[in-house]
Amino acid sequence: MRSSTVASLAMAAVASAHTGFNYGALNQDGSVKSQNDFEADFKAASSLEGTDGKFNSARLYTMVQGGTDSDVISAIPAAVKTDTTLLLGLWASAGEEQFKKELTALKSAIDTYGDKLKDLVVGISIGSEDLYRLTPESKKSSPNPGAEPDTLVGYVKEVRDLIKGTALEGAKLGHVDTWTAWVNGSNSAVVDAVDWLGFDGYPYFQEAMENDIKNSKNLFDDSMEKTRAAANGKPVWITETGWPVKGPDYNKGQASIENAEWYYQNVGCPLFGVENVWWYMLVEAGAEVEFGVAPSLGAAPYYNLTCSATTSSSSAAPSATGKVKGSGSASSGTALPTGSSGTNFSGPHSTLVPVPVPGSKYNFSDTAPAAPSGFAPVASAGAHSTGNLPILAGEAQPSFDSNNPPSLGSYATGSASPTGGYSGSGSGSGSGSYASGGSSSATGSAGPSSSGPATITSSAGRLTSAGAALVALAAAVAMI
């Protein structure tokens, strides 16, 4: 009886883990996504070659449809129609007035979709990297104010009050930020206020560290463990991570199809189905740093997305790189996750090409320091005051001409639509091979992971699997 109970618990834990992508509110051409656009996204994700349909969850950054005051984002009806689970997001770095519009949209979604929404919602994120944006490192590249800890705590309370007595009353509330924000003791009130912590990590951008692909898993695991230690036993969900197929070098971090595949296989695959993971991202064609796993919706992936037992336990790295080459330095308006939680913020950041906002004037002669934010594009009308440019989340912030600001409601909060002739194309070329060694032993002590299964720590690195979950659950039940 006991063994069957353990097995049931293990299966339930694995089954409850969600796997998906991050989705911004804009198309690659900068236009606002419609319900049909989101449906196409979700269908393409769940039908990706080699994935067995596991990418059936979507993380959103805002509840507000682009170009409107507080209408419900069209991703909600698209998710209902396609049966896509949702990590809802409320944008929290645009001030209290805009946050009230996020609340209005959330309430409208609950009133409209009720139990249909309840069955799909994994959790609700109040903000994304708002604490990081308070740091001097972030302010170097963006005037966006972020949100203070007490402000976020207040926002969390407002959401709890709003969902009380509704279909989403049982939804788990969290906040997404960098690991450096989570380990900062001055932010502990946010940890106390939420039910789970969202972790964004990009070893590729950790240029002050040994960030070659061979060490990327170690960097990821280390920052995850630091976040877990700060979580006081609360679950940690992996809300953003990935490795680009195209982009500039960040110290030893090289963007290539081979490296992106290695990172997916060795960091992603051991987590899928065990931890809540939202990968960055499905498609990002034309971006200066391209994280997409496929060049376009419905196209064959850049690399093999089938997870194997070998890659789940191996730390072998590509022995060569084959970078994606193409014409033009295209920018699609999609945000770049620049550094996020994995970056060592004590050193200087590299530069990225800024993305223009329609209706504004920027100086493109210089590039701005990259801000590690990892934010996908969010369309939200009227999210700024005149003369104050909201964050280009994940993008370097271009200089802002306060004499000619964007018109209210004409751009995306947290992102920017492209303007002018910033277009280009690229095709992958190059070759790489994998070393065959690097198997891990499963020795060590088991500790809780974000979705309930245990984490086995060994000298070869952290392995997370259904088997590990079963071992830990068996040990836990034996102690009862």
Our answer to whether residue 207 is catalytic in this structure is no
Q: Average pLDDT per run of 10 along the chain, which is 480 residues long?
A: 40 69 95 99 98 98 98 99 99 97 99 98 98 82 82 99 98 96 97 99 94 98 98 99 98 98 98 98 96 98 90 48 36 34 28 26 27 33 30 31 29 34 37 36 36 33 36 41
pLDDT at site 172: 99
pLDDT at site 138: 75
Q: What residues pair up with 87 in beta bridges, in sequence order?
A: 59, 123
CB distance 343 to 372 below 8 Å: yes
CB distance 377 to 26 below 8 Å: yes
- Rounded Cα distance between 337 and 340, Å, is 6
- Residue 12 burial (CB count, 10 A): 12
CB distance 217 to 267 below 8 Å: yes
pLDDT at site 1: 38
CB distance 234 to 195 below 8 Å: yes
b/e per residue 383-403 (b: at least 16 CB within 10 A):
bbeeeebbbbbbbbbbebeee
pLDDT at site 142: 66
pTM of structure: 0.67
Query: Which residues are within 8 A (CB) of 69 and not within 5 positions of it... i.e. 6 or more apart?
Result: 101, 381, 382, 409
pLDDT at site 260: 99
The residue annotated as part of the active site, out of 240, 261, 288, 395, is 240
Q: Report CA torsion sign: 372, 377, 382, 386.
A: positive
If we measure between CA atoms, which residue out of 410, 390, 408 comes closest to residue 400? 390
Query: Which residues are within 8 A (CB) of 312 and not within 5 positions of it... i.e. 6 or more apart?
Result: 265, 266, 269, 270, 463, 465
CA angle, 420 then 288 then 323, to 5°: 135
Cis omega (within 30 of 0) on the bond before 281?
yes
If we measure between CA atoms, which residue out of 145, 132, 131 comes closest to residue 94? 145
pLDDT at site 317: 54
Secondary structure (DSSP) of 428-439:
E-----B-S--B
Amino acid at 477: V
Amino acid at 291: F
pLDDT at site 453: 35
Domains of the chain, each with CATH number or no CATH: 17-432 (3.20.20.80)
Our answer to whether residue 395 is catalytic in this structure is no
pLDDT at site 311: 53
For 245, the token pair is: 């197929």
- Rounded Cα distance between 198 and 89, Å, is 11
Phi and psi dihedrals of 13, rounded to 5? -65, -45
Secondary structure (DSSP) of 284-310:
-TT-SSB--SBSSTTSPPSS-----HH
pLDDT at site 139: 72
Phi and psi dihedrals of 90, rounded to 5? -115, 125
Helix (H, G, I), strand (E, B) or coil at 468: helix
The position carrying tokens 């997870």 is 307
- Residue 108 burial (CB count, 10 A): 16
pLDDT at site 26: 95
Query: Which residues are within 8 A (CB) of 370 and not within 5 positions of it... i.e. 6 or more apart?
Result: 141, 205, 336, 338, 339, 349, 350, 351, 352, 396
Helix (H, G, I), strand (E, B) or coil at 87: strand
CA angle, 233 then 234 then 238, to 5°: 120
Strands 446-448 and 454-458 turn out to be antiparallel
Secondary structure (DSSP) of 209-250:
S--SHHHHHHHHHHHHHHHHHHTTT--EEEEE----SB---B
CB distance 121 to 86 below 8 Å: yes
CB distance 58 to 21 below 8 Å: yes
Q: Report CA torsion sign: 185, 131, 395, 332.
A: positive
